[in-house]
Structure 1
Amino acid sequence: MSDSGRKRPPLVAERRHGSAAKKPSRATRKPAAKGKAAPKKATAKRKPTRASKKKRNPIVAFFLGILRWIWGIVWAFTWRISLVVVLLLGMAVGYVYMTLPDVTELLDGRARGSVTLLDRGDQVFAWRGDQFGGVVTADTVSKHLKNAVIATEDKRFYRHFGVSPRGIVGAVRINLSEGRGPLSGHGGSTITQQTAKLMCLGVEYDASEWKNEAEYVSDCRRGSLWRKAKEAIYAMAMEAKYSKNEILSVYLNRAYMGAGAYGAEAASQRYFGKPSANLNPAEGAMIAGLLTAPSSLAPTANLQRSQDRAATVLRLMNEQGYLSDKDTKRWQSHPAELSEAAEARAGGYFADWLMSDGVPEFFGANTTEDVILKTTMDPRIQTAAEEGLKWVFENKVREGSKAQAAIVVMSADGAVRAMVGGRRTKVSGAFNRATQAKRQTGSAFKPFVYATALDLGQHANDMVLDAPYCMNIPGSGQWCPKNYTGKHYGEVTLTFALKNSLNIPAVKVSEQAGRENVRTVASMFGIESDLAAGPALALGASESSLLEMTGAYAGILNGGSSVTPYGLVELRLLGEETPLMGTGGGIGERVISDAAARELIWMMEKVVSEGTGGRAQIPGWQVAGKTGTTQAARDAWFIGFTNEYVAGVWMGYDDNTPLTGVTGGGLPAEIWREVMVRVHEGLEPTPLPAFTPEPPKPQPKKKKKKKGLDDILNGVFNDILGGN
């Protein structure tokens, strides 16, 4: 029978391992095919016994065991210490976090205020103190400045948590490769760490704890390992407290950027005369480049060095994708240039004088406020003074000469328009020979002698005898003044004596008018220095400053009233409209009569048109003035005026070395002319306020009395008796 209808059993693979496989019965077991070996029964694998393992060297096993034990201890110690450190660090960061103020309180970190000086046209020409242009933020400054700062100072600023381990490792590697200590030189500090340092880690300046502000700043900049650790903690707390842009804003407001400028806005105004929001890539790169060394890289100190540094910053901006290749090449080939105010290097001698003498100290060098000073300075006249002085020294003075010169230009009311205190005009903080040097005035003092005489009733055409003259000086013996020429001219008018600067007539006029009266007139005109007590007073034996002398001559020009030179028009606080102070000088009380002043002006005009001051003539203008040369030609002066301006020039050596071949009528008069020609460009000539004095009335001749008979007989009788 066929079994085709029988159900086939499922095909099951033979289970080779385990007891689950069903053994076939003896009845069903088929004999193996002939010639084929029966399959071997699978046997379970046995685990190797300990004895079957290869025995390990007991010494190696011992040391490995020790190492495992040590590692276990180290690991247990390390993770516990790490946990403690993390907890302590977290507590420290948390504590600092709680002490951090609101971000708005951190934007102005100066210990001093600033002083901004405006010229007579309300344009900034100088800064003093710690300049702060106003609060800016990372969003309001030019994007080019923001990108330049990040590219230069911290390219991973927006990706780290306040501290950059990669930056620290890189800095240590660079320092070691350059032969310095690991913490010397490159610090690897992030912008956040630098901001923490600018904040002195929250420590405020205390005058009782530090000798001065410089010591406080030095302490804040220390780079010890402990200081670095505190700085890192402070930086992480700042990252937790403030946003990235807030931290960057604090940095952009507090960072010192050279030339007294604190913050991006002050630097932008200081160097380029524009808001920080309007900076182009070259200007932004220049400011960002200052952050590494603001004093030495400041463009006012070395423009070329600053431009070179800016070119490097532009390259970094290009490498980090902030500038295209085309823009980078463009701005590198057109570097940033300074504004005119920045070129003036903080106002030079005029600003120095005003800060030292023109305003109270608490509104000047030591101000804690931001102060605005409107001044009398005229930039056009200042430029004229500097250029005139430069021209004479380049064309009239031998090369290599160490002689110095000073210039003051003012209006008749004493408003100082320009001041040059030495041949180096682009300076700040230098010795000012116009205000600080006290030198003998020589014959430049003589107008005050004649002013006294005229005010007492004498006139320009009155006569004085120029002849050998001696006086006995108590305690000094006989004193005999001599004329510069060594000659005598007999009977001369006061005008002739002044225009030719004769010494003997000046002494005689002084003695006749009264030496004390001359001293009084000179001091009332503004010469505050000690005046000589002896007869040499008339010859300028006293010392005075150029500013004092020029102010005294201004008193003659304005009709005989005293003048106090001044440079301040008004003082106000930043943001305030009402001035706290007004003009500090001007015209004062009358010294001599208007008629005497006018007559003296006429006499002084003859000094220039006919006498020793001929080199000071200005085509088309009436000029009055006086030359002055001291003993041994140690000082040479020319002071004079037109109807518009008064100017004084002094020339000499700082060490009192005699000048060679120089008198007041020489180089000083030429400097005066070169300056005043430039000052009067474009002005319509106006005459001096003088009048021509009346010529002296001829004195009637005395008639000789005819001798009578009695006179003749008396004469003969006296001769016989031996009478005289």
Structure 2
Amino acid sequence: MSKPPSGRRPLVAPRRNSASASRSGSGAARPARRSSKKKKKPSGNHSLLGRFFRWIGRMVFAVAWRGALLLALILFGFTFYYYSKLPPVSDLLDARARGSVTMLDRYGEVFAWRGEQFGGAITPDTVSPHLLHAVVATEDRRFYNHFGVSPRGILGAMIINMREGRGPLQGHGGSTITQQVAKLMCLGTPYDPELWDSEAAYEADCRETTIARKLQEVPFALAMEWRYSKDDILSIYFNRAYLGAGTRGFEAAAQRYFGISAAEVNAPQAAMLAGLLVAPSYFAPTRNLERAQERANVILGLMAREEYLTASELSAARANPATLSDAARDNMGGYFADWIMSEGPSFLTRDTTEDVILRTTFDPAMQRAAEDAINDVFTNQVREGSEAQAAIVVMSADGAVRAMVGGRDLRGAGLFNRATQAQRQTGSAFKPFVYATALDLGWRFDDLILDAPLTLNIPGSGAWSPENYSGEFYGEVTLTEALQASLNTAAVRLSEQVGRDLVRQVASEFGIDSDLAAGPALALGASESSLLEMSGAYAGILNGGSAVTPYGLLELRLMGDDTPLMGQTGGIRERVITDNAARQLIYMMNQVVENGTGQRANLADVEVAGKTGTTNSARDAWFIGFTSDYVAGVWMGYDDNRPLTGVTGGGLPAELWRQTMERIQANQPASPLPMIDPIAEGSRGPNRVLSTNEGTGQVLDGAADLAEQILMQVLGGLLGRSDQ
């Protein structure tokens, strides 16, 4: 083999570490150093544990996302189910099971409401912006940003509840407006009267807060957000929410409390309405105006926080809190309204599904006069803490009832009405019907009747001897004298002479429909009757002897209709006694007030006729009388039938009557009573003023007090404070 050229090295393949050797500057290759530290292999136990945890993690993740997917599918399924069942918004705005009754007084002004008021459908576009802002700021400040439920709100409410010592679902609910609408709709379950005892029970169940109910609310709320717009949901809320005093929806509430539309409410009024949502009955301004105003003040602060009100607007609103309308503030005529509801056809009053307008005979000024009279008498002349009750009825001669006080809870409604429901013995207030019978048979006002001891044998009871209160007898007296002094033996004698069956017939035809006593005690008022019946019977005397049916309803029509479904123009019925007999009787009853037991009812410059009545042991005290224009009846007593102390028909009842009628007649011209002129009639002479008073014999009528009459004269007609 030939040698390579001079100066060149032979071509050979480099060794593996030649590069390393050349870098080290050595001509010989060096083996690479190995690290003296060896990598530790994981032990078998550690490797197994890691794999186990990784497997657990993968399993949890797999279960979690699959469970979440399953829950999402279930939630979607329920949401879609509810979505498919939701009706159009227009079908949800008025979901009342009952209709409403709005009552107008004789002048066409609203004075009372019954049933469930609904003022008509409203939307966020038609209500006052203040009302929209107040509701959103109070109930759901994030309403326009959530999808129907607010997990943050629910969690926050649960924390607050537990912090305050309640269960997580007791108290604050954290519900959005959408969830509240879900409750109002009872999750789509309609009211069925066959399944529920009442609508109240149905709604109580709908409002029940349980975990199951909360879980149901979620898909229902989601479905509503899917099906309806935000404004649609607010529309349902605005129209279905219960806001106290029988009102459904903000339009009805605005009309009820302020007498204006929901489109016209200002900031303080809107705040008061929004404040009702949390507890409508408790915060109702008709129940406690000051409390409602305090709640509204809180709402105004929330509106300012959400920048719906400026600082100056907030100050102005708080300086001028909302107040009630005149009709809502007065809140009078509750007993009258309940009476009308009981008298009208049930399908258009108590059980109506329609919205009904009733025009009535009610007169607010006369009602106020009666209420003020009771307040004055019981404040100034009755022992503090007394449980004695009183009732008043005022009507026109044709039976049109103008005012009614059914008890000392003057503004109460749905309570026991002593003017219409209480059946009490009438005492001597019944005697005018004895004299009416005699006069109609031809007796005269100045004919004589014997007032002397009388004993009647009553089958099954034995001998009965009525007595006068004074214990004295006055011999022959005129009918006028006998009535004005309320002589018992004279009344019984007259009843027996004309025939007690005929007396019963006359009283019944005048409108006393109660079961009248069959025995001779009939003449002394042993029978029971209501104040309304007795007042109506006296109205028959005033209008000339024709019977009267007390009435309060003038016209009934459906809301929105101009044509009445029914109406009434008067209550006068058939004639019972002649006009001449009625005119004589009115004169005799006038003498009761001028010279007899009813002097305390005298009115200055106004002619008055009437009759007192006091029953056995003074358990009932009456005064019923009339001027030429109006009849008024007054009853006093205890609900448990205890005897009154120091009270007779000629005492506090006559005083109540006088104070009521003074107020009523104050602005009216005085007209003479339709009675005879005794001189023109050829009277036998002036009536004697007998020193007696209405009294009971040993059996019935009684306890009128001669001493009271003497005190009245001595003190100028002013009686000292009664212990009743």
TM-score of the pair, normalised by structure 2: 0.88
Counterpart position of 1:709: none
Counterpart position of 1:269: 255
- Between stretches 64-73 and 322-331, larger displacement belongs to 322-331
Three-state SS of the structure 1 residue aligned to 2:281 is helix
Counterpart position of 2:450: 465
Pairwise CA distance, 1:53: 4.2
Distance 2:361 2:125 in 1: 38
Gaps of 5+ in 2: 1-7, 10-21, 26-31, 686-724
Pairwise CA distance, 1:49: 10
Distance 2:677 2:164 in 1: 82
- Given candidates 538, 548, 555, the residue that maps to 1:570 is 555
Distance 1:606 1:49 in 2: 139
Counterpart position of 1:316: 302
Counterpart position of 2:188: 202
2:428 aligned with 1:429: no
Count of residue pairs brought into register by the alignment: 658
- Given candidates 47, 51, 56, the residue that maps to 1:65 is 51
Counterpart position of 1:5: none
CA offsets per residue over residues 498-528 of structure 1, 9 Å max, x none?
A: 1111111111111111101100000000001
Distance 2:480 2:305 in 1: 78
CA offsets per residue over residues 414-471 of structure 1, 9 Å max, x none?
A: 0000000111212111111111111110110010000000000000000111111111
Three-state SS of the structure 2 residue aligned to 1:537 is helix
2:516 aligned with 1:531: yes
TM-score of the pair, normalised by structure 1: 0.88
Instruction: After TM superposition, list the pairs within 5 Å mapping 1:184-203 onto structure 2.
Output: 184-203=170-189
CA offsets per residue over residues 389-427 of structure 1, 9 Å max, x none?
A: 111111221222221110000000000000001112121
- Given candidates 222, 240, 259, the residue that maps to 2:208 is 222
Three-state SS of the structure 1 residue aligned to 2:272 is helix
Distance 2:606 2:568 in 1: 30
2:106 aligned with 1:120: yes
Pairwise CA distance, 1:58: 4.8
Pairwise CA distance, 1:697: 6.8
Three-state SS of the structure 1 residue aligned to 2:277 is helix
Distance 2:190 2:283 in 1: 28
Three-state SS of the structure 1 residue aligned to 2:276 is helix
2:185 aligned with 1:232: no
CA offsets per residue over residues 611-646 of structure 1, 9 Å max, x none?
A: 111111111111000011111111111000001100
CA contact (8 A) 2:332 2:364 kept: no
Distance 1:374 1:671 in 2: 28
Pairwise CA distance, 1:657: 1.4
Three-state SS of the structure 2 residue aligned to 1:371 is strand
Pairwise CA distance, 1:325: 1.8
2:526 aligned with 1:545: no
Distance 2:668 2:625 in 1: 18
Pairwise CA distance, 1:51: 8.5
- Given candidates 160, 163, 172, the residue that maps to 1:177 is 163
Counterpart position of 2:585: 600
CA contact (8 A) 1:126 1:344 kept: no
Structure 1 residue ranges, 4+ long, deviating more than 6 angstroms after superposition: 38-41, 48-51
Instruction: After TM superposition, list the pairs within 5 Å mapping 1:336-485 onto structure 2.
Output: 336-345=322-331, 347-356=333-342, 358-485=343-470
2:119 aligned with 1:129: no
Paired amino acid for 1:118: L
Counterpart position of 2:131: 145
Q: 1:51 to 1:565 in 2, by over 3 A?
A: farther
2:94 aligned with 1:108: yes
Pairwise CA distance, 1:161: 0.4
Paired amino acid for 2:348: F
Q: 1:271 to 1:578 in 2, by over 3 A?
A: same
CA contact (8 A) 1:145 1:288 kept: yes
2:84 aligned with 1:98: yes
Distance 1:308 1:171 in 2: 23
Distance 1:185 1:642 in 2: 59
CA contact (8 A) 2:333 2:404 kept: no
CA offsets per residue over residues 204-252 of structure 1, 9 Å max, x none?
A: 1112222322232222122222221221111111111111011001001
Counterpart position of 2:695: none
Distance 1:99 1:280 in 2: 38
Three-state SS of the structure 2 residue aligned to 1:292 is coil
Counterpart position of 2:654: 669
Pairwise CA distance, 1:110: 0.9
Distance 2:594 2:24 in 1: 145
Paired amino acid for 2:340: L
CA contact (8 A) 2:363 2:403 kept: yes
- Given candidates 617, 625, 628, the residue that maps to 1:632 is 617
Paired amino acid for 1:70: I
Task: Give the alignment's Cα RMSD to 1 decimal.
Answer: 2.0
Pairwise CA distance, 1:64: 2.2
Counterpart position of 2:682: 695
- Given candidates 471, 481, 497, the residue that maps to 1:512 is 497
Distance 1:696 1:92 in 2: 94
Pairwise CA distance, 1:690: 1.0
Counterpart position of 2:644: 659
CA contact (8 A) 2:333 2:403 kept: no
Distance 1:566 1:50 in 2: 119
CA contact (8 A) 1:498 1:607 kept: yes
Three-state SS of the structure 2 residue aligned to 1:372 is strand
Look at both structures and tell me which one has the larger radius of gyration over its CA atoms.
1
CA offsets per residue over residues 574-620 of structure 1, 9 Å max, x none?
A: 11111112128600010001111111111111111111111111111
Three-state SS of the structure 1 residue aligned to 2:470 is coil
Distance 2:630 2:246 in 1: 34
- Between stretches 62-71 and 638-647, larger displacement belongs to 62-71
Distance 2:621 2:89 in 1: 60
Distance 1:407 1:548 in 2: 12
Paired amino acid for 2:581: A
Counterpart position of 1:257: 243
Paired amino acid for 2:671: T
Distance 2:396 2:473 in 1: 38
CA contact (8 A) 1:127 1:346 kept: no
Distance 1:399 1:81 in 2: 72
Paired amino acid for 2:177: I
Distance 1:50 1:419 in 2: 114
Paired amino acid for 1:270: R
Paired amino acid for 2:81: Y
